[in-house]
Every structure is written in structure tokens, then in C-alpha cells.
Homo-oligomer: A and B are copies of this chain.
Amino acid sequence: MQCLVLGAAAGGGFPQWNCGCPNCARARAGDPAARPRTQASVAVSADGARWLIVGASPDLRQQILANPELAPPPGTRLSPIGAVVLVSADVDGIAGLLVLREQHRFRLLAPANILRVLAGHGVFAILDQTLVDGVEITPDAPIETGLDLTLTLLAMPGRVPLYQEAARDAAQAAAAPTYAASLEGGGKLCVVAPGCADLTDAVLAQLAPADVLFFDGTLFRDDEMITAGLGWKTGKRMGHVSVSGPDGALARLGALKARKIFFHINNSNPMLLDDAPERRAVEAAGFEVSYDGMKVAM
């Protein structure tokens, strides 16, 4: 099994289009220690030929073009992309589906509440339903993807998407807000978890068997957007556990056997910078910070 990080940043990307914070200014200026990153998505393959994509990032067109593994062979329209798994109904988890129009056959694997969001948005009818095979996935029930990868969706503590916060559809808002994708192939297990609001003991038990874990690295400190003057929300308010702190990812995930890799990293997070003390702290704790184009084999 191999993984390819298509995008390592959280919603908005790095730099964020309208942000001139010190991190974003360095990225925009081409500082090699502040590498730009697109919005979160990971591609997984059992054979290197057929790929499954976790998360349909708004940057998906740019991401596909940046990775030759995902190009159709010359003279064909045979994309190697065989399936897309949706784990969040946030804009940064679904907008990339609009890229995948153009008469390509693939499987769209998602839980019922995310499929309902798509059905409620006429614009997604751009995906030809005679070609795109939408499959409703029940959390905790493994399914064969047809790509020699077994998928299990894991419900994660989180929040409803921002655009649904005022939604009248209470039933929709009450569904599990976000998921992780667990993918098993060739005896190895990879878990992709871009959003997790609370590392409960139950969540730790779900993540324990993973050989590779891509985990929510949105904020380093719960209040970093507030102290940087970039917003009024804490990480918890946005549905993300922080990297640091007594309940944070470093403290709670440290004992897992997996290779632990942060992705879905917000532009405010200092660990994005190669020369930041926070990056050194993360690496000293045995974690990695991902970047676009990172390859992970297992």
C-alpha cells in the first residue's frame, strides 16, 4: 500500500488567498522554509496503478495535475482514479467533486448524511449518475472498494460544516459530523483523519491498529487564531483538537504504534514552517508534518 499526500493544508490552504499573516507572507514570498500547501486530500493505492482519493478538496484539479501518478495515459481518457471517499461535508471536503465531471466512471463512497448534502445541491448533478456510482457507507462496516483496499469509515467527534450551522434541517445536522477513513490492503492499515474534535479513549482505540495515521493538524494551540488576530474561534469551536496541550494530539497519540503524520494544517499553525521551534517539538515527539507530494509506502 502506498499513500500520496495531494494536499496537506486545512480549508483555505497555505497561503490563504486573503491572508497576509507572517506565515502566509513567507509562503507567498517563496521562502523555501514555508512551502505552499493545497487543501487536505490523500490518495491511496494498493498497486500503484489504481487510486482511491480520501477527501474531495477544492484544489483537486491542481492536485491531479501536480501528481503524474494520477494522469491518464496519453491517447486515453482512462484516469487512474477509481474511487473517492468523502469524510466531511465541509466545503474543503466536497467541492473537488465538481472537478471530476467529464464522463469518468468512478465510485463515490460516503456516509448517508454526506450523500444527502450532495443530493440537496443541484450543482453536483454535473456528475453523470450513470457513470458515478454513489455508494452509501455505514460507519464501522468494512466494504471492499474494488481496488484491493478495504474501507471502514470511523465516526469522529466534530462539528457540523460551517455553512450548516444555521441550517433548518436539524436531522441532517444531528448526523455524525465527520469521519476518518480506515483503509486496509496487503495486511497494512492506513487511517486518514482530517478532523477530530476530541481524542477520547474510544477514538484512541479506533486508531490503535493503524500502521500509518494521517491526523488532524489544524492548530498548534487552541487559541492561536485569536492571539494572531485572524479570527475569534478556538480550535475546539471549529471541531479540531490541537497539536499541543494536555488533551492535544502529541500528548494523546504519542503511544500509538503508527507512523504519525499531521495533515489538514491551518495557515496559522507555526509547525508549517521548517525553521519553527514548534516543528522541532513535533518531530522530537516522533510525529511528522506532511507536505504536498509526500509519498508514504508501507
Contact = CB atoms under 8 A, between A and B. Distances in A.
Nearest to A126: B163
Interface string A68-79: 001111111111
Interface stretch (A18-26, A205-213, A269-277): A18-26
- Main secondary structure, interface of A, reads loop
A58 interface: yes
A33 interface: no
Contact of A102 (B12, B28, B120): B12
A13 interface: yes
B164 A79 contact: no
The bracket for how many chain A residues form the interface is 35 or more
A17 B100 CA distance: 8
Contacts of A175: none
B25 A74 contact: yes
> How many copies make up the complex?
2
Contacts of A59: 61-62
Contacts of A124: 163
A125 B17 contact: no
Nearest to A96: B58
A61 B120 CA distance: 25
A166 B62 CA distance: 30
Give the 10 A-B CB pairs with smallest separation, nearest first. Answer: A25-B74, A18-B79, A20-B72, A125-B163, A126-B163, A17-B64, A20-B74, A20-B76, A18-B104, A121-B121
